[in-house]
Structure 1
């Protein structure tokens, strides 16, 4: 029996979905139609006034037939004269078949014979998508949010090959993200972000290129790991760091031990070397503490210049 998510969890999921969708480009693009609609209205008004004026001149005044003809011409003019914005490509059909791609700027269509099938926005589009509670290869459920940057490069394919290219791109991106997560472990997903971005871009590009769409980049925004697993991974990382520190310390101690063995061999073979080392240590201790050491007179003879010179000569000669 499937466990139903609690209300806080459902609210968190809805909040994450809303956060992702805020990056989506406006699919309707209603603001981009202001210019074409205003132009169509202008054409209709001009055509209406021209035909109405001509009818009035011919008939000697305004008549019902003149008004009807003016309305008809204005209607036909709005169906024949169009403009496309700088970033738009317009797909025109003639009697249900593909005819041509027009835009940007002014273009004409034959009323009742030709119609606009698609206005493709060729600016860079942004689609936010994610994978909720998706299992990795080591069976860990994680949430991943990503952003897709893409654009339509072939308006004809975008019109003929897919019913709704915007929704299709979003679904293809979600599927590719889930597949990529399922093939990687949770640690690989967290560490290999750049590689995962590149992999997703290639997969989505392969799926959408037949629709006349090119993928510019894919960027993973956030990776959410369960809280209990975060503690386990943190402890594991801490243990790994301690292990590395102990290994480094062991290597250093090994090197120090080897140097001490070499020094012991030298001291064993040469008694004068031991005496020099003893005097050096004594000197360093006095120098560091700033104190005074009182030693027997017999031992102090070892600090005389003659004794030190003989010790140094013996070390140089190897005796």
Structure 2
């Protein structure tokens, strides 16, 4: 009975050692009698117990490796602390197994040395601006060396750049001065624009006022001209009416009567205005005066 149990256990162990189930995105390196035999693919695989063995196991998924913090010296001799993360993927399990002892360690070391080399080419101010350039340089450098390791470097990212505290204080002062300078420039630009707007408004106001004054003078002149023309036309019409009236029957006698009345009226006003009154020598010959006036009127009409 004991022998049967032992035999059953040996059979189970043999089956377990013979059948290998490989997960997806995983590669097993199999050696037969210590020599590379092949790469087991995902799924069920059969091996020969005691002759074959699984020497290495690799995941084919993308893997992130943390790059420890290190001190780098910039071109302007400033020490900065930098760390990062690199993303790699095994694309050739055989090279990863036999091309290098530990590809993860090699990638980390090469990333650190390349990062120090790239930082040494830049000034401190540029290290913050040239992150993409540094990342690209690290990827290209490691990817070229990792070809023989069966590893593909996908990307590299700088996580932190930490300058010394004294440099941080100086940078803060510099940024504060830059902000104050920009504030002064913005304020001066605002004042300048405000002055321009005020001057432009005054200019437009003066133009509008002068234009309004010109239009007013034109309107007043046109109004005065129209008034003078209207008065002249009214005077001409009245004279024309009087002249036509004189030509009618009895017109001359009416003019004589009107002249006599006006003559007497004006002398009456002179008498009321002062104590002294100058009378013409021929005041008694009123008819003669009227006849003289009519003669002047008729002579004027004849000339016309």
Q: TM-score, normalised by structure 2?
A: 0.59
Partner of 2:7: 69
CA deviation after TM superposition for structure 1 residue 189, in Å:
1.0
Q: How does 1:1-319 map to 2 (within 5 A)?
A: 62-64=1-3, 66-239=4-177, 280=206, 305-306=216-217
Determine if contact 1:130/1:177 at 8 Å carries over to the other structure.
no
The residue aligned with 2:289 is: none
Report the Cα offset of residue 282 of structure 1.
Answer: 11
Shift of 1:75: 2.7
Q: Give CA-to-partner distance per residue, 1:22-59, whole Å, 9 cap, x none.
A: xxxxxxxxxxxxxxxxxxxxxxxxxxxxxxxxxxxxxx
Secondary structure of the residue aligned to 1:184 is coil
Change (3 A) 1:307 1:75: same
Give me the whole-angstrom Cα distance separating, in 1, the residues matched to 2:120 and 2:204: 67
Give 5+ residue unaligned stretches, structure 1: 1-61, 254-258, 260-275, 285-301, 309-319
**Residues 280 and 101 of structure 1: is their aligned pair in 2 closer, same or farther, counting only changes over 3 Å?**
same
Cα deviation for residue 158 of structure 1 reads 0.5
Measured after TM superposition, the shift of residue 196 of structure 1 is 1.6
TM-score, with structure 1 as normaliser: 0.56
In structure 2, the residue corresponding to 1:101 is in which secondary structure?
Answer: strand
The 3 A distance-change label for structure 1 pair 282 and 203 is same
| Contact 1:131-1:178 within 8 A present in 2 as well | no
- 8 A Cα contact 1:136 1:184, kept in partner: yes
CA distance in 2, matches of 1:250, 1:67: 98
Shift of the alpha carbon at 1:84? 0.9
| Count, aligned residues | 215
CA–CA separation in structure 1 for the residues paired with 2:168 and 2:123: 14
* In structure 2, C-alpha distance between the alignment counterparts of 1:132 and 1:173, rounded to whole Å: 11
Q: Which runs of 5+ in 2 are unaligned?
A: 197-201, 220-304
Which of 1 and 2 has greater Rg? 2
Q: Provide the C-alpha distance between the structure 2 equivalents of 1:278 and 1:96, rounded to a whole number of angstroms.
A: 99
